[in-house]
């Protein structure tokens, strides 16, 4: 099949280019303001001229019909659109240029035994450890019980976007999804060619329209703590403080703690959930990106 005829499965590159083009004014780009303008920011032909590429080539990039732009074109576009370091990294991540397709080694993620022992000792607090792409690497019994309504139990983003249980479990599922996507965008900005991140983004982009829209947006800062309102099918509503702690001994990993206010109905709900015994959780199939 001809390269121009293939649709971009992610659609992120075209949306990214349009958003950066629309926010850059002609004056800032050194262009004349003469004549009536019908679009915000720069026009396609102006970006093409500034980057030294043909209008047809640039148009194909925005339309998702050109999937292998060269390094030279990407560098020229970054200069023309006046991209900062983070935006430039995002441009290269979305484009996946041919010249940079040398596959980096797969990152093997393992949880230190003492961290497993630590979270397993917390019988009254759900806790789990996630990897750089939000794969679940280790969970304690109460975290398994809390998420027992989910059919899959392997990756936070896959649970949020692909499992129907997320809609009933999270009282504000959209907020939880925004947070998870922003966290993944932050990871991708630092490691734009990471194979596990690219694999996950590709899968979610194909299977979830909501993910595609959120991924195309500008990255926002993720707070380390938040309050989650969830609903478990057995114990009902729970209000839990979500804490994400960076594990310094394992870069990229985070310890997630879900705490209830002592003496609160939510604390009673967690105690009841724990007393029921850990439910049967679907067997975890380790992703090649991390170890057991």
Alpha-carbon distance of 274 to 266, in angstroms, equals 12
Sheet of strand 254-259, all strands in order from the earlier edge strand to the far edge: 136-139, 127-130, 254-259, 236-246, 225-232
Computed over its alpha carbons, how large is the radius of gyration of the chain?
Answer: 22
Q: Does domain 113-275 have CATH number 3.90.45.10?
A: no
Domain ranges within the chain, ordered by starting residue: 3-100, 113-275
Give exposure, 120-154, as e/b (b: 16+ Cβ within 10 Å): eeeeebbbbbbbbbbbbbbbbbbbbbbbbbbeebb
Beta bridge partners of 242: 226, 258
pLDDT averaged over every residue in the chain: 83
Both tokens assigned to 34: 């003469």
For residue 224, the model assigns a pLDDT of 67
The answer to whether the predicted template modeling score (pTM) of the entire model surpasses 0.75 is no
Measuring CA to CA, how many Å separate 202 from each of 100, 194, 207, 218, 271?
17, 12, 9, 18, 39
CB-facing half-sphere around the CA of 44: CA atoms within 13 A: 13
Give exposure, 238-252, as e/b (b: 16+ Cβ within 10 Å): bbbebebeeeeebeb
Measuring CA to CA, how many Å separate 173 from each of 45, 117, 157, 179, 230?
40, 31, 12, 10, 9
Q: 67: pLDDT confidence band, cut at 50, 70 and 90?
A: low
Assigned CATH topology for domain 3-100: 434 Repressor (Amino-terminal Domain) (1.10.260)
Q: How crowded is residue 292: how many other Cβ atoms within 10 Å of its Cβ?
A: 8
Q: DSSP assignment, residue 135? A: B
Q: Are 152 and 169 in contact (CB under 8 A)?
A: no
Q: How crowded is residue 215: how many other Cβ atoms within 10 Å of its Cβ?
A: 22
Our CA angle for 170, 151, 106, nearest 5°, is: 95
Lowest mean pLDDT among 117-121, 134-138, 265-269, 286-290: 286-290
Instruction: Give pLDDT tens digits for 68-81.
Output: 777 778 888 988 89
Q: Bigger pLDDT: 129 or 152? A: 129
DSSP string covering 141-206: HHHHHHTTT-S--SBHHHHHHH-THHHHHBTTHHHHHHHHHHHHHHHHHH-TT-HHHHHHHHHHHH
Instruction: Give pLDDT tens digits for 161-210.
Output: 999 999 999 999 999 999 999 999 888 888 777 889 888 988 898 888 89
Q: 28: pLDDT confidence band, cut at 50, 70 and 90?
A: confident
Q: Are 159 and 181 in contact (CB under 8 A)?
A: no
Instruction: Give pLDDT tens digits for 98-131.
Output: 444 455 566 789 999 999 999 999 999 999 999 9
């Amino acid at each position: 099949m001809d390269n121009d005829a293939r649709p971009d499965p992610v659609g992120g590159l075209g949306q990214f280019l349009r958003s950066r083009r629309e926010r850059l004014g002609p004056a800032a780009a050194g262009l004349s303001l003469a004549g009536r303008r019908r679009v915000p920011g720069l026009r396609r032909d102006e970006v093409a001229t500034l980057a030294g590429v043909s209008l047809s080539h640039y148009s194909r990039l925005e339309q998702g019909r050109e999937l292998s732009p060269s390094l030279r074109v990407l560098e020229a576009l970054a200069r023309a659109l006046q991209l900062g370091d983070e935006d430039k990294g995002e441009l290269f991540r979305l484009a996946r240029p041919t010249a940079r397709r040398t596959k980096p080694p797969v990152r093997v993620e393992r949880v230190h035994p003492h961290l497993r022992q630590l979270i397993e000792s917390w019988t009254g607090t759900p806790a789990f450890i996630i990897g750089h792409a939000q794969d679940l690497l280790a969970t304690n019994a109460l975290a398994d019980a809390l998420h027992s309504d989910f059919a899959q139990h392997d990756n936070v983003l896959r649970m949020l976007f692909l499992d129907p249980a997320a809609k009933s479990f999270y009282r504000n599922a959209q907020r939880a999804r925004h947070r998870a996507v922003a966290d993944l965008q932050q990871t991708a900005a630092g490691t734009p060619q990471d194979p596990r991140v690219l694999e996950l983004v590709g899968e979610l982009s194909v299977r979830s329209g909501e993910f595609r829209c959120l991924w195309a947006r500008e990255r926002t800062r993720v707070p380390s703590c938040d309050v989650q309102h969830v609903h478990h099918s057995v114990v009902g509503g729970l209000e839990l403080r979500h804490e994400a702690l960076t594990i310094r001994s394992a870069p990229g990993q985070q310890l997630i703690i879900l705490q209830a206010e002592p003496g609160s109905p939510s604390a009673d709900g967690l105690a009841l959930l724990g007393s029921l015994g850990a439910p049967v959780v679907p067997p975890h199939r380790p992703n090649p990106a991390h170890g057991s």
